[in-house]
Chains A and B, each alone.
Chain A
Amino acid sequence: MRAWLSGMAVMLALIAGPGAGPASGQAAVEPPIMSFPSPEANRGGFRRPRPQAREQVVAGLSSDEVSITASFDGSDIILYGAVRRETPVQMNSLLHVVATVEGPPRSVTIRRKERKLGIWVNTESVVVGSAPSFYSVASTAPLDLILNREVDARYRISIPMAMRAFARPFSVENPTDFTEAMIVSRIADGSYRLDEGAVRLARDTLFRADFRLPANLIEGDYKIRIFLLRNGRVVDSYSAPLDVRKVGVERWLHRLAFERPLLYGLLSLLIAVAAGWGASAAFRVLQRK
């Protein structure tokens, strides 16, 4: 089974080419990742509208960058667009729209506790080599009804599909328990979100989706995708980058911490010493009065 899996991964990697799997960037640093790259090679790039496509999506964002300032408290992104078509609206099937916002991928270790000798101990673990740090899906209707399973696996639209790179061959019986638990906890803290029915589609042409980006956003290259669906298949798709960056003091401190850690450490100690001494001196003055 394990041999088959790794063989499969190698084969898929060959088909997909460099930069296909979200894990590939990390794979370069941490070799033991066994990833399942997406079969779709240009995932994330801008797609040229296919000439034969009868319905095309045209979309825009309220803003293509998010600045994290010291008082950052989350942000709203409005996604709006229209369906362009040369022929009249098809009436034999329903048109649906799904939109996703995806944060930069990160690896994560999921551990399970078990009772041993009366106390709860971490026992088994599963490592997900690459899962989006933020993932939000909005659609016009429940995903089960409008999205084909194979199409979902191919484009990685629903939340479980968005993270499918396991690092390290796992020895755990059912790793999906672990990934499900991870999804549950990430939905609870707001970093994953599924909003079925949040995309409003007017007269099969105009649509709009509102995304709330939470306050615990991490910096990086975010990606927005829009899919037009008919009969569970993707008719057309659109993708755009969203830049999330720290600015001002936030940016300065972050860079200092990572580029000059010793200086940064000394600076934080200096602040601590100065504050401690300052308070002590201030109270002495207060007491004398």
Chain B
Amino acid sequence: MQIYLPIAEVSVNAFTLIGLGGIVGLMSGMFGVGGGFLITPLLFFIGIPPAIAVATGANQVVASSISGVLGHVKKRSVDFRMGTVLLVGGLTGSLLGVLLFNLLRRIGQVELVVQISYVVMLGVVGCMMFAESLRALRRTRSGARARRRHHGWIHALPLRMKFRTSGLYLSVIPPLAVGLCVGVLSAMMGVGGGFIMVPAMIYLLGMPTKVVIGTSLFQITFVTAFTTLMHAVSYNTVDIMLAVLLIVGGVTGAQIGTQIGSRLRAEQLRILLALVVLAVCVKLALDLFLRPDNLYSLTPGIL
């Protein structure tokens, strides 16, 4: 069934979009990532103009994260206090990100900067997670309990605050910084930033994995809602028709994902997420180093 998208001005198959939304929603529910880093490139691939893909992708992430976060609220696995601190950093970061985005767009290098930062960050994060979760898995197999690492310098910082749900007594500076970085990325790449935030929360802040997913979804919901609104108002690039189709698939997928996620063990979840992150990283790195099929690219408008 073909459907014409009013803002994107292209005609696409409705079922393809629902399916796409479903896959991304599944990941979102399982890992607590918004799925923006998957949905945006997939939308490019089926011929949606990049600006619209970024904005509408953010809108879809809002729906699937809400669906996921409600599931986690029920299970009491959301640390609202930590989420709010991350959010404050996130909104500031996303404002900075928009400024940076416009600057890079003017000199035509936005694609390159986004790709390089993706490759570096996904590569580092993916490898770290993969190695760590393999070690943890081996330890649990051999019977020993996995111990959380504590970074001394992080605990030496001032402005400490109690995060009861996570069982932490920690300075607010590291979560604010994590939120800020994620906010910048979110505005520049049109992603929620969960794939960066989840590992940062586990390894940097030392939060328990079960709480991390709900909390990251909580923060992502607000940051992407803010991004969507900003794109709609300043660039008119949100396509409701496209968003609705993605959302229908996305929310269903997110619910199923949450169910699967609660049955898997934390180490297994981490290994799976690490593999997904590494796969996306390899794909992007290849695009960067291999000769592209078409050396020329077209961008509408005068930049």
Contact = CB atoms under 8 A, between A and B. Distances in A.
B90 to A, nearest CB: 17
B280 interface: no
Given A71-B1, A119-B116, A268-B59, 18 more contacts: A107-B302, A110-B296, A112-B296, A120-B288, A122-B297, A127-B303, A216-B9, A249-B6, A254-B6, A257-B6, A264-B236, A266-B229, A272-B225, A272-B228, A273-B66, A276-B66, A276-B251, A280-B71
A279 B252 contact: yes
Interface string B59-83: 1101111111011001000000000
B293 to A, nearest CB: 10
A262 interface: yes
A251 B47 CA distance: 21
B170 interface: no
Nearest to A218: B9
Given A264-B240, A272-B63, A182 B233 contact: no
B251 A279 contact: yes
A70 interface: yes
A250 B255 contact: no
Contacts of B10: 215-216
Contact of B232 (A73, A215, A268, A277): A268
A170 interface: no
A151 interface: no
Given A68-B4, A119-B289, A272 B243 contact: yes
Contacts of A185: 294, 296, 298
Interface residues of B, number: 60
Given A182-B298, A271-B243, A217 B9 contact: yes
Interface stretch (B104-112, B135-143, B178-186, B193-201): B104-112
Contacts, number: 199
Interface of A: 30, 32-33, 68-74, 106-115, 118-122, 125, 127, 129, 167-168, 178, 181-182, 185-186, 189, 215-219, 246, 249-251, 253-254, 257-258, 261-262, 264-269, 271-273, 275-284
Contacts of B116: 119
- Which of A30, A127, A189, A283 has most chain B Cβ within 10 Å? A283
Interface of B: 1-4, 6-7, 9-11, 47, 59-60, 62-68, 70-71, 74, 108-109, 111-112, 116, 225, 228-229, 231-234, 236, 238, 240-241, 243-244, 247-248, 251-252, 254-255, 288-289, 291-292, 294-303
6 pairs of A and B residues whose beta carbons are closest in the complex:
A276-B66, A265-B232, A215-B11, A279-B251, A181-B296, A272-B63
A107 B9 CA distance: 16
Given A113-B297, A181-B295, A276-B65, A269 B3 contact: no
A199 to B, nearest CB: 27
Contacts of A272: 59-60, 62-63, 66, 225, 228, 243, 247
Nearest to B64: A276
19 contacts: A74-B11, A107-B301, A112-B296, A115-B291, A119-B112, A181-B296, A185-B296, A215-B10, A257-B236, A261-B234, A262-B233, A264-B238, A268-B228, A268-B238, A272-B59, A276-B66, A278-B251, A279-B251, A279-B254
Nearest to B71: A280
B74 A121 contact: no
Contact of B4 (A69, A181, A261): A69
B233 to A, nearest CB: 5
B300 A107 contact: yes
